[in-house]
Amino acid sequence: AEFSEINLIAHADGNYAVDIQVFRNGTKVVRSFRPDFVLVRQHSFSMAENEDFRNLIIGMQYAGIPSVNSLESIYNFCDKPWVFAQLVSVYKTLGPEKFPLIEQTFYPNHKEMLTMPTFPVVVKIGHAHSGMGKIKVDNHYDFQDIASVVALTQTYATTEPFIDSKYDIRIQKIGSNYKAYMRTSISGNWKTNTGSAMLEQIAMSDKYKLWVDTCSEIFGGLDICAVKAVHGKDGKDYIFEVMDCAMPLIGEHQTEDRQHITDLVVSKMNQMLSKTPIPSPQRPTATQQPQSGSLKEPEPNKIPPQRPPPQGWGPVQPQGMQSQSQEPLQPQRMYPPGQSAKPSTSQPQRPPGPTTQQPRPQAQGPSSTRLSKEAEPQPQPQPQPQPQPQPAQQPAPQPAPQQKPQSHPQLNKSQSLTNAFSFTESSFFRSSVNEDEAKAETIRNLRKSFASLFSD
């Protein structure tokens, strides 16, 4: 589509719409769409009538549409003296030998066109293309006439010394592809782009490559550009212009050049997509995996603080009431160090009972007598898988509150007993196996324990 066929509207929030006028069967049809990428192959500005499309370039830049070349560079190419100023800076950097730039004089308006240049000169009025606005002036009379014409155009003008050329040179760059052409006028017109001329492709030299590579760096980079120069009869080269992506394709390899442009646009679009953030669906799965692991880990993590208990609980899970019933008797047997493994099977709430009993080393003597008396229940809790003696020890919590006042003279031992028995009362009420036998066994154990307390 051409600039004259499109229009657009852009919003600050990034929304935009482009309208294009298409003729179908002689009827004008307007279509609206949102371009994701733009390739500009037309001059966006010329001082000819109805050739100013800078408003569309501004609108596409406002909408943030990527393009080749960049919209900033395209807008900067809307004035040839502005582009030539960039070439002047390159000339100052590389020098006249590596970058032979033609001499040029800029006049902002006709009032300043009083200084007479060295004739003959080429006067370029305003910003135009394809040889438009270019006049060869041989004397100062003609120059004054041209100044009056510039006054009517109300624009700027430039002058360059006329070079009696042998041929023109054009070096083009499309992405990473380079080509050089030589054009020789046959009709004898000083404008080699008008009339008949002979065009042929020449070898790409390092000098030509340096020219086009240096010019491709202006305005932030030009993906498509061309450098135009003149080879004079004096044997010297003169660079006088650089073109952007709107350059026309010439020569016998135009189909190949179009393919290079297509590949360039595709690569630019791929780069644009690679820079955009990709909402990977793997992120939620990655977050779920640690969550699933955290759900599995807390269970063993809660058990390890109890140290050995998780091992005992594994096989005794069907006998959970029995493992709990063992613990009220264990605080009674905590005095000997040999049975320290038994309290380890207690839950995290039960260790405080045995800690109060451990600072009583004096009870080791009587505790040994209790160990001999309780030898029958002790070996049974150690092999945890044996369930028979353990249920007999479950009901131990009931009489504990009854014996508390009796054990009052010795606070340390009585408190440990009461703590142990009162803690497992809930387990006693939950148990329902051999309650009569359990009560009898518990009474006997209590008698033995309190006998040992009074003996101390």
- Give 120-178 pLDDT, tens digit per residue: 999 999 998 888 899 999 999 999 999 999 999 999 999 999 999 999 999 999 999 99
Q: How confident is the model over 264-275, as a mean pLDDT?
A: 91
Cβ–Cβ under 8 Å, residues 47 and 126: yes
pLDDT digits (tens, 9 = 90+) for 313-369: 444 444 444 444 444 444 444 444 444 444 444 444 444 444 444 444 444 444 443
Q: Classify the phi-psi angles of 175: left when phi > 0, otherwise alpha if psi is within -120 to 50, otherwise beta.
A: left
pLDDT at 14: 87
Distance CA 326, CA 389 (A): 9
Query: 105: which DSSP letter?
Result: E
At residue 421 the predicted structure's pLDDT band, cuts being 50, 70 and 90, is very low
Tell me the three state secondary structure of residue 146: helix
Residues 6+ apart with CB under 8 A from 87: 99, 101, 215, 218, 239, 242
E strands in 128-236: 134-137, 157-161, 165-174, 177-185, 197-202, 224-232
Please give the mean pLDDT across all residues of the chain. Answer: 75
Residue 269 has pLDDT above 70, yes or no: yes
pLDDT at 425: 46
Placement of tokens 């008949």 in the chain: 196
Which amino acid is located at 50 in the chain? Answer: N
pLDDT at 187: 83
The whole-model pTM stands at 0.60
Distance CA 261, CA 283 (A): 38
Residues 6+ apart with CB under 8 A from 190: 136, 162, 165
CA 260, 262, 263, 269 dihedral sign is positive
Give the tokens for residue 255. Answer: 């189909």
